[in-house]
Amino acid sequence: MRIAIVNDVMMAVEAVRRVLAAAGGHQLAWVALDGEEAVRRCAEDTPDLILMDLIMPRMDGVEATRQIMAKSPCAIVIVTANVSDNTSKVFEAMGAGALDAVNTPVLEHPGAQDGAQALLAKIETIRKLIGAPSGARPSQPERSVNGVNDLSGTLVAIGASAGGPAALATVLGALPADFSSPIVVVQHVDEQFAKGLAEWLDGQTALKVRLAHHGERPVPGIVLLAGMDKHLVFSAPRQLAYTPEPVDCSYRPSIDAFFKSIEKFWPGEVIGIVLTGMGRDGAEGLRALREKGHHTIAQDRASSAVYGMPKAAAEIDAAAEILPLDKIGPRITSMLAQKRKTNV
């Protein structure tokens, strides 16, 4: 796993770093010396796991956990000098989203080995919980014989253009608060309006909607919206990035570029959706997803504000289903519910 360390005491940082290095199979993502720096670093490069201290200057571990879980969520374990002496803060941090707590291992201490094993046991538990690989991250996404697997759950990927904001509000508004899959949206919109769109959509659904950050990984219950004048793509398994490539796309961000990166890097199943919009962006990418065995949906003519992109998808047989706008959200929910029943 890629693991970050947040602690203002360099001796503690070194102790944790040595434990990770000795164990093998983990990569140190970055080190932050206080909670404020951790929030910023996590937004820029979201790791698999953060080992978070409690007592730090500028921003403590509780507030840092709260902000990270709101802005760029990932697994967090509290690693502090003495858990039993800080139980109230530990519980507060867990209430903010931390998963567990453990004492900081101490260098050259009689109980150093026990402390190291306790930390590694917590890390292994989290690894199993989030489905991260036990060894080094593979350079290519893992796939089963039919092109998909269940390691990362089902990604819901949505592309929209003209008429998209209202259509997105309808689709996202139909999803339940306990929706169990990550959602990433590429909407053709100027960068200066993207933040306002995310805030508006956040008020239209029970889910949390915010702009996607470079380097983060989608998680269930959070809707990530492309928010820059660059293409939002997957640059590695489960990891998003902003890139100027390809430079010859008519749209920035490009839905085709996004969908094609999903086909290349997302290691789980996908539901790809093209909503109302002018032009043909998204059609080729949707077809690439369908050809890999993923389920694809296009909005129908009658409910589309502009029947351009969904029409292009229908013309090249990229969509497995063509549905009215108000049926798309319930269809996604029912499909995922059926998958859960099948996997039980």
Rounded (10°) CA dihedral 300, 306, 243, 315:
50
Give catalytic status of residue 48 as yes or no. Answer: no
Place of tokens 């489960």: 238
Measured in degrees and rounded to the nearest 5, phi and psi for residue 4 equal: -105, 150
Q: Is 62 helix (H, G, I), strand (E, B) or coil?
A: helix
Give catalytic status of residue 304 as yes or no. Answer: no
Please give the full DSSP string across 207-220, using - where no structure is assigned: SEEEEPPTT----T
- Check if the beta carbon of residue 253 is closer than 8 Å to that of residue 285: no
DSSP strand pairing (231-236 vs 269-274) = unpaired
Of 72, 152, 161, 181, catalytic:
161
Of 188, 213, 294, 295, catalytic:
188
Q: In the chain, which ranges are E strands?
A: 2-6, 27-32, 49-52, 75-80, 100-103, 154-160, 183-187, 208-211, 222-225, 231-236, 239-243, 269-274, 295-299, 321-323
- Check if the beta carbon of residue 170 is closer than 8 Å to that of residue 160: no
- Among 116, 112, 54, residue whose Cα is nearest residue 88: 54
Q: What is the DSSP letter of 277?
A: B
Of 281, 295, 300, 304, catalytic:
281
Give catalytic status of residue 188 as yes or no. Answer: yes
Active-site residues, by number, are 161, 188, 281
